[in-house]
Structure 1
Amino acid sequence: MVAGRGGGKRRWLPDQHGAWAMLAVPFAAGTFLSPHPGPAHLALFAAWLLGYVAVYHGQQWLRLRRNSRNPRAAGRHALPGLVFGGAFAVCAVPLAVAYPWLLAAALAAAPFVAVNTYHAWRNRERALVNGLAAVVPACGMLLVALRLGGGAVAPDGWRAALACLLYFAGTVPYVKTMIRERNSRTYHRASVVYHAVALAAAACLSPWLALPFALYLARAAALPGHRIKVPLVGALELAASLALLATLLLIF
């Protein structure tokens, strides 16, 4: 998987940089909020990331098979998909044997993966509903990691998971206002309204959550319209994600 000519690494690893924080932050929160974090969390995290990359390549294979005029385009995703899928199985099967309830968690995530797969097949991956569908299982991993470490899912686990859902769902319209929909007043207004509602909802979960969510509202209101480079947008969202993680670990 070493990058060669033509950007080999880019062909193996998804270029959806914003997804990595969404994959990691809820999982990390659930892991460190649990009373007994351990090696099983490392194995589950490896399976989680490998499964994500395998599904990504499978979805790209479907998308390009249906939509590309280049007959070789889809084939570029076949080998990475098989390699990552096999690596996922190596990590996931022992976990499923040791913790059979993980199969129920995977089944709960399946409808959202199906929505993402459908949008990939239709070449509509940038659709708002597609982004929102991806957020739900990612935030649900907080509960999975929490239970794996012997933590109680209710009530604090649910509150932490809902806080993640409120934040990461808000990143979907916000990032659009910074890049693809930077000139859309409708998107900007909708994003600001969402973040105002999310601030109120987060404060109900914990008054301390009002602090980071007030900052999320401020950035959703003030930053769109400015020509901020994409890497800086990504860096700001990474900082916002880490701020959420730190807050969750402090209050729950």
Structure 2
Amino acid sequence: MSGRRGQRPRGPGPDACAAPGIVPAPGVRPGIVTAPAPATVSAARRPEATQAATPSRWVRLRRASRNPRAAARHHRPALAFATAVLALGLPLLAAAPWLLVAAALMAPFLAVNVLHARRNRERALVNGLAAVVPACGMLLVAHRAGGGTLAEELAPALACLLYFAGTVPYGKTMIRERRSEAYRRGSVAHHAAALVAAALLDPWLAVPSACYLARAAALLGRGLKVAVVGAAEVGCSVLLLGFLVALHG
């Protein structure tokens, strides 16, 4: 036994795929995937370091991270974000006090997002849908702030809500829930219902909605890369924008 201490193992060891001084990332099977660069390994061990510095991320890390310094890295970005909101929002609020009503209507959805961030469940379906509603509602706020009426932009805002709400389950069927039959059926069912609703808003809106339904049904199980899925959604967004500008200019 003592004569074998200096001998190297005959077969490839657990770090055979790694370069000297680099430890393979957790979950990487040696011999199948080459070890990532040191920076990649560090990011894999500290996923919060690669995330966007947002207030919701700060809330999540305060609750979920075992590293007490993880949330501290987001203190300054969160403070800068809040400062920018106050600096830009207070003058607008002074000129248009009705924005308080809009903020109050959006507050419950923000509360849902903060709650899910606190529970480390930001990818939940409800959380995604809750984020979409106030985002689409900003179309009404911006139009009203520009001197328009809510009635003029109600149909475009609802059209945006129908589309972007559909991207939440659709995105899951293409990535994290691509093997879930429930998500697949739910995504297609939503897009079918959205097609009918869009046609009731304006018959021309049935055209882009039909394209969204076709892509939700036809691209399932294709194994597309995330970048391809994202690029396709950019095109879908531009398509909706083009129809809304043409119809409501």
Q: Secondary structure at the match of 2:147?
A: coil
Equivalent in the alignment of 2:220: 224
1:85 and 2:82 matched: yes
Calculate the TM-score normalised by the size of structure 1: 0.77
Could you tell me which amino acid in structure 2 is paired with residue 60 of structure 1?
R
Equivalent in the alignment of 1:75: 72
Equivalent in the alignment of 1:102: 99
Residues 1-252 of structure 1 aligned to structure 2 (within 5 Å): 14=52, 57-154=54-151, 156-252=152-248
Q: Secondary structure at the match of 2:54?
A: helix
Count of residue correspondences: 204
Query: Cα RMSD over matched residues?
Result: 1.8
Q: Secondary structure at the match of 1:228?
A: coil
Could you tell me which amino acid in structure 1 is paired with residue 207 of structure 2?
L
Q: In 1, Cα distance between the equivalents of 2:88 and 2:49?
A: 23
Could you tell me which amino acid in structure 1 is paired with residue 203 of structure 2?
P
Q: In 1, Cα distance between the equivalents of 2:174 and 2:221?
A: 7
Calculate the TM-score normalised by the size of structure 2: 0.78
Pairwise CA distance, 1:57: 2.1
Could you tell me which amino acid in structure 1 is paired with residue 206 of structure 2?
A
In structure 2, list runs of 5 or more residues that go unmatched: 1-38
Q: In 2, Cα distance between the equivalents of 1:216 and 1:120?
A: 29
Q: In 1, Cα distance between the equivalents of 2:210 and 2:228?
A: 20
Kept in 2: contact 1:59–1:120 (CA 8 A)? yes
Equivalent in the alignment of 1:17: none
Pairwise CA distance, 1:58: 2.1
Could you tell me which amino acid in structure 1 is paired with residue 172 of structure 2?
K
Could you tell me which amino acid in structure 2 is paired with residue 212 of structure 1?
P
Q: In 2, Cα distance between the equivalents of 1:86 and 1:149?
A: 24
In structure 1, list runs of 5 or more residues that go unmatched: 15-55
Equivalent in the alignment of 2:19: none
Instruction: Work out the percentage of aligned pairs sharing the same amino acid.
Output: 60
Which structure has more RCO (C-alpha within 8 Å, separation ≥ 6)?
A: 1
Structure showing greater radius of gyration is 2
Could you tell me which amino acid in structure 2 is paired with residue 102 of structure 1?
L
